[in-house]
Amino acid sequence: MDTTYINTIDGKTKVEWWDADKFTGRVTQIISADETVTIPIPNTAILCDFCNEKITEFPVPVLYGTHALCSVCYEDVKKEEESNDKQ
């Protein structure tokens, strides 16, 4: 897995580049007052954590080790820093 760094509004940010196999076997948990339900996430359901667009290009940029980004949002995150520089 490749790791790169980009500058965002939060400063220097680590980006991990995940291949499709890194997204297998994920689960999500729904926690209520009585119980915690663990639901498997289908391996093909890889959605952008920013815009919920389905991601089809690999490897996928993953911010902070958890947030998968589509190529459009990844470019936006990088652009934010560029526009900040000009202010």
> Segment near Zn ion (CB under 5 A), from 25-33, 38-46, 65-73, 79-87?
65-73
Say if residue 61 is preceded by a cis peptide, omega within 30 of 0.
no
- The residue within the footprint of Zn ion, chosen from 51, 54, 56, 80 (CB under 5 A), is 51
List the structure tokens of 85: 């520089």
Name the segment binding Zn ion (CB under 5 A); options: 19-27, 33-41, 43-51, 77-85. Answer: 43-51
What is the spatial order of strands in the sheet that 67-68 belongs to?
Answer: 2-8, 11-18, 60-63, 67-68
76 binds Zn ion (CB under 5 A): no
Site size toward Zn ion, by CB under 5 A? 6
Chain centroid to Cα 58, Å, comes to: 12
CA separation for the pair 82, 87 (Å, rounded)? 9
Query: Minimum CB separation from Zn ion for residue 47, in Å?
Result: 8
Q: Can you give the binding site for Zn ion, defined by CB under 5 A?
A: 48, 50-51, 53, 70, 73
